[in-house]
């Protein structure tokens, strides 16, 4: 006697929406983006440190969304990591911009020196 063929659904299951599959990763990314924009617009001088009372809650929310996103195994790890990174940079935005400027100037000097020598 021949075994019965495996059962298949009559209709193929509807593919889950991208937004449904990566909901918390996208939420972490949006929270990080909002944290960066709020931090950039609310601080006085660009090189000063932003107010921690504003930026730390965004960092905590982005971290929580990122952890739950990884626990759900949503895939696409750059969404929650990008959001968490932007929220973390927003906490130390002044220091980050000063260090980025120093690195860029150093890279330009190294490029010029390597071309001359």
Residues 62-74 have pLDDT tens digits of 999 999 999 988 8
What lies within 8 Å, CB to CB, of 35 at 6+ separation is: 55, 58, 59, 62, 86, 87, 90
Output the pLDDT for position 96: 84
How far apart, in whole angstroms, are the C-alpha atoms of residue 69 and residue 48?
Answer: 32
Output the pLDDT for position 75: 80
What lies within 8 Å, CB to CB, of 76 at 6+ separation is: 22, 25
- 31 near 58, Cβ under 8 Å? yes
Query: What pLDDT, in 10s, does the model give residues 76-107?
Result: 889 999 999 999 999 888 888 889 999 999 99
Q: Is residue 47 part of a domain?
A: yes
Q: Is residue 5 part of a domain?
A: no
Count of domains forming the chain: 1
Q: Is residue 2 part of a domain?
A: no
Output the pLDDT for position 94: 83
Average pLDDT value for residue range 6-32: 81
Q: How far apart are the first and last CA of the chain?
A: 83
Query: Which range marks the domain in which residue 81 is found?
Result: 22-116
Q: Is residue 9 part of a domain?
A: no
Q: Is residue 11 part of a domain?
A: no
Q: Is residue 13 part of a domain?
A: no
Distance set, CA 24 to CA 32, 76, 80, 98 (Å): 12, 11, 8, 32
Q: Is residue 7 part of a domain?
A: no
Total length of the chain: 117
- 83 near 33, Cβ under 8 Å? yes
Tell me: pLDDT of 18 over 80. no
Q: Is residue 74 part of a domain?
A: yes
Q: Which residue has the tokens 């990884």?
A: 70
pTM of the full predicted structure? 0.72
């Amino acid at each position: 006697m021949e075994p019965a063929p495996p059962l298949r659904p009559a209709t193929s299951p509807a593919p889950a929406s991208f937004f449904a599959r990566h909901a918390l990763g996208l939420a972490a990314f949006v929270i990080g983006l909002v944290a960066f924009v709020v931090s950039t617009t609310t601080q006085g001088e660009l090189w000063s440190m932003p107010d921690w009372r504003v930026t730390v809650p965004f960092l905590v929310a982005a971290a929580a969304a990122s952890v739950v996103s990884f626990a759900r195994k949503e895939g696409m790890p750059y969404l929650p990591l990008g959001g968490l990174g932007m929220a973390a940079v927003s906490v130390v935005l002044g220091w980050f911009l000063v260090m980025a400027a120093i690195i860029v100037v150093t890279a330009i000097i190294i490029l010029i020196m390597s071309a001359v020598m």
